[in-house]
Amino acid sequence: MSKIIEEKQNVVIKFAGDSGDGMQLVGTQFTNNTASVGHDLGTFPDFPAEIRAPQGTLPGVSGFQIHFGSTEIYTPGDTCDVLVAMNAAALKSNLRNVNQNGIIILNTAGFDSRNLKLAGYQDNPLDGDLLNGFIVYKIDITKLTRDALEEVELGVRDKDRSKNMFVLGFIYWLYNRTPENTIQFIERKFKNDEVVREANIRALKAGYNYADITEAFSSRFKVQPAKMAPGTYRSITGNPALALGLIAAAQKTGLQLFYGTYPITPASDILHELARHKNFNVKTFQAEDEIAAICSSIGAAFGGNLGITGTSGPGLALKAEAMGLAVMLELPLIILNVQRAGPSTGLPTKTEQSDLLQAVYGRNGECPMPVIAASTPSSCFEVAYKAVKMALEHMTPVLVLSDGYIANGAEPWKFPKAADLDEINVSVVTSKESEEKFMPYLRDENLVRQWAVPGTEGLEHRIGGLEKEDVTGSVSYDPENHQKMVKIREAKVEKIAEFIPEQEVDSGKESGKILVLGWGSTYGSIKSAVTELIHEGYDVSHAHLTYIKPFPRNLGELLHRFEKVLIPEINNGQLIKMIRDKYLIDAKGYNKIKGTPITKNELKEEIIKMYS
């Protein structure tokens, strides 16, 4: 029978199943396919908290949500239009977020008595009225996959691993796509394993053909490409974008990039990405702990290299004393913090803007350090590049904040050409320039000291964590000198405000009733909510901070142009404390601490409530 093709402006799909069902791979492949056909998109991978939670349980559910469309996409979507549930636990975990009249595709093999019991169902939801109001397709995906692979010489368990490809082929057909890019991916990934390669390709094609020939599916859907600025695009997630931004900065400066780190979720992919690019003079070092990692990077910076270290919240706490050493030495060092929910080990796979106050204040003594924050996956490239420029030109450690949502989320990225990147001025002293004794803490008009490469005759100087004497760098216990150096280090960081852009309003008017001020990964939710409210006639604006220490020099003046200021954060209220303290503004907070992003609709409700 002929199939009707319905056109959609945007769609949200959630793939969900057991942690071993390959939902992250399905989501990633569908994302890459989506980007290749020119749609704008946003994604949200939702990982289980445990590496291998018991199969069939609610804690073991792994999900991947993608929002794509022909219009600009800022979030992965509040609720989904399509849910693919591979077992009962996946359905139970996600059913509340499916739109009425939404499509639910169920793997009936995942609803046997064992799976129902593990998910906490007393009765089988496939038989009752729980799914009334949805368009439900019950498919024994497991059996169909096994049938398709009947002639492949694999055990049953190995055949079942291919059922995610059956699902992917099915969804490709449903949204009028071709599976060719995934076939190419499989051929590359399993080029040395013919049997596994054949199994995955067969399963992918079987899912596509099943959707095509069965009479249950009379409609297909099509989404037109988005209207985007001309250029070359690729799909990017936050951690690889950070890595590429650092590599670009190293290439621009001609410095060797050294990355010292200790693996920690969700920052580990930065190490993986950098390790792939040794051809760009990148050296990576997996240390035995967080302290060794940052100390190795400080040593690299002292030696005239681009020293970088990366971690997540608990690791940042362990690095605190060494960060103080880098501040004392006034060395260019980049510290990447991909935040997760805390305290302590917290929720390793869940997102939170948990470390802002730790980033700004979380070291002993008066220890000022610039802090900048990424807001989207693609912005990570620019923020990493800016951090390197700031560190090298102002001789200071710089702390970069991302989070799990940004790190794992994906979006199209129009990547720049090398010639379009800002110049980075590096003033490494490689030889003695006069007969006068070298003074390591002699400063220029911006309070920046020189960067001397060790081992150069005449440039010997003392390093260490004890207070330095002004100009000479000798150890000093003099109280007047200590106060002077504390003031100088703070003034140097605050002076950076003269070299960063003034704060702009992202959406809405330059003054008015309500300003929604955000930072980090709340960008998409705020942008979407404010844009819709403006179209509905509300006097509301949005500004988003990249530079947090120091703040942009015009931020206070901008804030005072609005009657009310709302600050949404995925924490218990951290930026709001800094804003109230510095600008004496009675800002209001909207806080969510559930390990998930703030949604567009809940933020709209809060703004409307504040509006009255």
Res 2: pLDDT: 63
The residue extents of the domains of the chain are: 4-223, 234-420, 512-611
Range name among 2-16, 193-207, 476-490 with the lowest pLDDT average: 2-16
> Is the per-residue pLDDT at 102 higher than 60?
yes
Res 1: pLDDT: 54
Q: Rounded CA gap, 109 and 147, in Å?
A: 14
Q: Rounded CA gap, 218 and 211, in Å?
A: 9
> Superfamily for 4-223?
Pyruvate-ferredoxin oxidoreductase, PFOR, domain III (3.40.920.10)
- pLDDT band at residue 157 using 50, 70 and 90 as cut-offs: very high
DSSP state of 443: B
Range name among 200-204, 344-348, 399-403, 566-570 with the lowest pLDDT average: 344-348
135-139/98-107 β-pairing: parallel
User: CB neighbours of 136 closer than 8 A, spacing ≥ 6?
Assistant: 103, 104, 106
How are strands ordered across the β-sheet holding 282-286?
282-286, 257-261, 306-311, 333-339, 397-403, 371-373, 547-549
Quickly list DSSP for 212-264. HH-TT--EEEEEPPP---SS-EEEEEHHHHHHHHHHHHHHHHTPPEEEEE---
> Superfamily for 234-420?
Thiamin diphosphate (ThDP)-binding fold, Pyr/PP domains (3.40.50.970)
> What percentage of the chain reaches a pLDDT higher than 90?
90
Res 109: pLDDT: 96
Q: Rounded CA gap, 585 and 607, in Å?
A: 18
Structure confidence by residue, pLDDT tens digits, 458-487? 898 888 999 999 999 999 999 999 999 999
> What three-state secondary structure class fits 315?
helix
- pLDDT band at residue 496 using 50, 70 and 90 as cut-offs: very high
> CA dihedral defined by 252, 258, 264, 268, rounded to 10 degrees?
50
> Is the per-residue pLDDT at 136 higher than 60?
yes
Res 428: pLDDT: 84
Q: Rounded CA gap, 498 and 312, in Å?
A: 30
Structure confidence by residue, pLDDT tens digits, 329-370? 999 999 999 999 999 999 999 999 999 999 999 999 999 999
Q: Rounded CA gap, 388 and 588, in Å?
A: 34
Computed from CA positions of residues 192, 198, 201, 207, in that sequence, does the dihedral angle turn out positive or negative?
A: negative
How large is the angle between the packed helices 180-189 and 163-174, nearest 10 degrees?
Answer: 160
Using CB atoms within 10 Å of the CB of residue 7, give its burial: 0 to 12 exposed, 13 to 18 middle, 19+ buried: exposed
The yes/no answer on whether domain 512-611 falls in CATH 3.40.50.920 is yes
pLDDT (mean) for 286-296: 98
Res 200: pLDDT: 96
Range name among 38-47, 188-197, 455-464 with the lowest pLDDT average: 455-464
pLDDT (mean) for 576-602: 96
> What percentage of the chain reaches a pLDDT higher than 70?
99
pLDDT (mean) for 582-594: 97
Tokens 């599976």 sit on residue: 179
DSSP state of 599: P
Q: Rounded CA gap, 385 and 82, in Å?
A: 38
> What three-state secondary structure class fits 521?
helix
pLDDT (mean) for 14-34: 95
Topology alike, domains 4-223 and 234-420: no
Res 570: pLDDT: 98
pLDDT (mean) for 58-79: 95
Structure confidence by residue, pLDDT tens digits, 529-544? 999 999 999 999 999 9
| C-alpha 109 chain-centroid distance | 34
Which tokens hold the place of 498?
A: 């003269």
Res 218: pLDDT: 75
> Is the per-residue pLDDT at 274 higher than 60?
yes
Q: Average per-residue pLDDT in the chain?
A: 95
Res 529: pLDDT: 97
Q: What stretches of 395-424 show up as alpha helix (H) in DSSP? A: 404-408
> Is the per-residue pLDDT at 401 higher than 70?
yes
pLDDT (mean) for 454-458: 86
Res 154: pLDDT: 94
- pLDDT band at residue 612 using 50, 70 and 90 as cut-offs: confident
Res 427: pLDDT: 81
> Is the per-residue pLDDT at 372 higher than 90?
yes
